[in-house]
Structure 1
């Protein structure tokens, strides 16, 4: 067989994708380089699922491969995913001839060109990784084509070479040698070729894997963490984005972005571009991207958190919340709390709360034209993927969300949990009926229960009680944000501003917005909140309280000191609010969250 049809080639690529998905857990378990964050299998599976769900069998080989490459770019995640997507882009360009079949010689030449595409995408190519196996695969095809022109024989010979090369990756990188494992991305490539080859030989079942069920994944023991170390990462965040409508060539874009970090990969074509980087400046990085094109997708992973979860998991119970909860980062890190960052939408731009936008920028959005900024609930599939990843490490999971009366976040988590909860592992989603400071306090109390080793079911019972004893009181400095957000009518807002009316905003027992009082100045409203807290503390008693603010640190600090003096107890913390809360409450807002005895 010295040529194959468009249809056979298409199904071979799908078979390769399925083979990678089947080995997702295995690939995660050996993920050591560049950091041991246990997500290479998940990242590659994301790409492969996109190939299965988005690619189409077109009228000719070139268009079919273009469809596969575009799907790969859409689903690419992480170093290996984006490199593999760029490799497929190279293949698709090499096969653009309008033919309904592909000859063995043409396929070999396309692979040769694809190697350059893959290497060119990476700022600093590292050998001993997927890149190495892509190169060796192409070199083997070029060498063995002199021996045979039969597709199946040729690929079988070349497959033997990459299996040998995979074994050698264990000794090419220090981190792999220490962990005694091969490179996860490289192994993913071998699995892909294995599925591709077995399809050509007629040995692959064409089962369609279109969901993320654990049933389709090879179950393997989690890698022992005794041989792994927590590395001192130079860059905290792994940032990825998809751009369209780029104004400058890909090679020039790479020059513009290299100043923001390392592990830079720029992949794609003239229609769309995928970018990957490790950085400490996600806000600045994404601002630069917005100046280069339109961002249609963005994702940022906290590699410090991922590495801690994989290598230093402290508890058997995992705790998840959303970015509306205001908590000190140090507490989040110490207690390994997993935060799902919600999105902020403004005009055509999307921002990731707390990651790709800061409060200065968020407040600035309030002044930009007539279009107001809004928040969006998390994507269900992204939540499913995150919860499934956590199931690999935790026996049980507790999710504490922002009030479901304010956001659809609770419902998204509940639906995701219902789809993937597998006995005996439990996932419980709790509606905090709060937001911001009060939600943060509840998450803090839950984390302390987990730290104390209290059984799962008892923690759930305790948290339900604490939810009913929690409250937030917000003093807004001006009403502009509330007017723009639609919480206050324009007419009513103008009248209130005219008489300098300052409402104290709170949430009721159902988690719905309400009025906790009024005053005629920001200072007066803060005094009313303090007076209310003193009364509560003198009667039923305060278990804990905290203070948060929107770009008003000095005033919030002074207010915190006054509260501590009046209440005779220190706050749990003083923190900035999330950007979503800042947009809703406005510049200068100060809030107190509390839980009573």
Structure 2
């Protein structure tokens, strides 16, 4: 294709061709991903970014407007270090173009140069030998070529050689790449993008890809097996925020102390943030001050690393965030967690990941509109299960009671598609929540630890469900009223009488009120009587105590029930934000399993 000018149509199809080329190489990009964290997801992250470009971009009247649409789609869909840097590059390219309907060779070169500078500015600590270096070297070649070539076909063909050479140099620039004998995965993704564009100009056709195969994860090659590459910060955290006149530099400086690999990309109206941190909840506390949070992610890089390099078992155990288990027990048994969603005002959060209990409790008391919750999407669950399927012989998922949440149905639907490929997955309704669900998950983890076979683990889980109960002491009914769990007039009557209800879950998974008292002390005595009655006919083999901002009451429960049961609890922990939202601040519960 001989073209001295790049119009909207040519630019659109060239960039779509480039995006498809990246998707084709997804598995290879995952395989060589060793920097900044060897979590094998660069290809996956870039695929998300590219698919959003393909699905959301609109061809506009001018080339600049079309680049603007591409840049906006990339920013919205950007994931991971390389994806967000790439999106920032495209945003810089859009800002660097003039308003002419078509782009000249010289204009394109100058816009790319400004785009590279824009991308550099988004990174708190740019590292040479990565995607940013390849972008810079490619830009330099464009500057040298723009007055020597006759059309865009020549410009991309010749400059691609410079980008490829730059990519090969990345292994010399970074020791971790040299030791692994690979090039930078993000840099290779950018070169793939340029290859797709070049092929479009040479063949005058858009490079196609297979979207089905793009969703298939790779099997680990052992490339990332070095234990020293374990992530120094646990969560790969991302957010997209919207606002008015957001100061990107101020935002960046406000987040620097939270971790590493910080990227702040976008415009004063829409910003994508990426950071590796141990405290995603603090990140989102701060982001609320800058704008409305419209998108978020907090991937557990430690669990990802363990899954690929140091998994303990052949069965993957997965639960949702309603199961209340301390993080140390989750880590000990390498239990995977799928978070539910909370909506507070206009902002959405991931349960147990991106929201602090203090902010939730404050919102429960002060928000005009009471917080709500929702199960994860089928797509999110599919993505999570797909990421672990290649590394385990089978997967067991234990969910919150189906009567309390649509999470069970969502996970069943997500698992159907994955099971059709031959994967061995069981999804089990615990018919419990909170500490009760936690005890069931813990029992399953202990069975898997003993190398019990898949079908036998399922039998143990189902047997444990039948033998597990949870009793919740609710301090006040006002939260249940606000959350819609009980009718307003019932709550008002209870408030007038100062009733302290005792709540449990029946054998079908429905929440029920099993007693009422006029004081916390009387409520505790009722709880004692319930547990004592159980011990008369059955042996309690394990129990847990969970609470919502009520550690003193939880410790009191331990002093009361340890002598009564004859053992200390398996654990004491704060409950899920979603459970707290429904049961209320100050609640405390005991969950127990009998022999």
Q: Give the TM-score of the pair, scaled to structure 2.
A: 0.95
Aligned-partner Cα distance in 1 for 2:482–2:218: 52
Alpha-carbon offset, residue 227 of structure 1: 4.4
Question: Deviations 1:287-339 (Å, cap 9, x if unpaired)?
Answer: 22111111111212222222222321222221211111100101111221111
Alpha-carbon offset, residue 517 of structure 1: 2.2
Structure-2 residue corresponding to 1:39: 41
**1:151 partnered with 2:174:** no
The alignment partner of 2:569 has SS state of coil
Alpha-carbon offset, residue 549 of structure 1: 0.9
Aligned CA distance change for structure 1 residues 171 and 311 (closer, same or farther; 3 Å): farther
Question: Deviations 1:391-420 (Å, cap 9, x if unpaired)?
Answer: 232232111111111111112111111123
Which residues in structure 2 correspond to 1:172-321 (within 5 Å)? 172-202=173-203, 206-207=207-208, 213=212, 215-216=213-214, 221-224=219-222, 227-231=225-229, 233-321=231-319
8 A Cα contact 1:260 1:279, kept in partner: yes
Aligned-partner Cα distance in 1 for 2:205–2:447: 49
Aligned CA distance change for structure 1 residues 196 and 422 (closer, same or farther; 3 Å): farther
Aligned-partner Cα distance in 1 for 2:7–2:150: 15
Which residues in structure 2 correspond to 1:65-214 (within 5 Å)? 65-99=67-101, 101-202=102-203, 206-207=207-208, 213=212
Aligned-partner Cα distance in 2 for 1:444–1:411: 22
8 A Cα contact 1:26 1:218, kept in partner: no
8 A Cα contact 1:401 1:432, kept in partner: yes
Alpha-carbon offset, residue 27 of structure 1: 1.6
Question: Deviations 1:48-72 (Å, cap 9, x if unpaired)?
Answer: 1111111111222111111110000
8 A Cα contact 2:120 2:126, kept in partner: yes
Structure 2 unaligned runs (5+)?
none
Alpha-carbon offset, residue 542 of structure 1: 2.3
Structure 1 unaligned runs (5+)?
none
8 A Cα contact 2:21 2:209, kept in partner: no
Aligned-partner Cα distance in 2 for 1:539–1:488: 33
Deviates more, 1:68-77 or 1:458-467: 458-467
The alignment partner of 2:172 has SS state of coil
Alpha-carbon offset, residue 514 of structure 1: 0.9
Which residues in structure 2 correspond to 1:334-413 (within 5 Å)? 334-413=332-411
Question: Deviations 1:48-106 (Å, cap 9, x if unpaired)?
Answer: 1111111111222111111110000000111111100001111222334241x333222
The alignment partner of 2:444 has SS state of helix
8 A Cα contact 2:282 2:356, kept in partner: no
8 A Cα contact 1:44 1:76, kept in partner: yes
Question: Deviations 1:415-474 (Å, cap 9, x if unpaired)?
Answer: 111123344322222111111001111111111222222222222233223222222110
Question: Deviations 1:504-561 (Å, cap 9, x if unpaired)?
Answer: 1111222111122222222322222232223223323323211111111122122113
Aligned-partner Cα distance in 2 for 1:570–1:158: 68
The alignment partner of 2:227 has SS state of coil
Alpha-carbon offset, residue 153 of structure 1: 2.3
Aligned-partner Cα distance in 2 for 1:433–1:593: 13
The alignment partner of 1:528 has SS state of helix
Equivalenced residues, count: 593
Alpha-carbon offset, residue 118 of structure 1: 0.7
8 A Cα contact 1:26 1:41, kept in partner: yes
Aligned-partner Cα distance in 2 for 1:226–1:123: 26
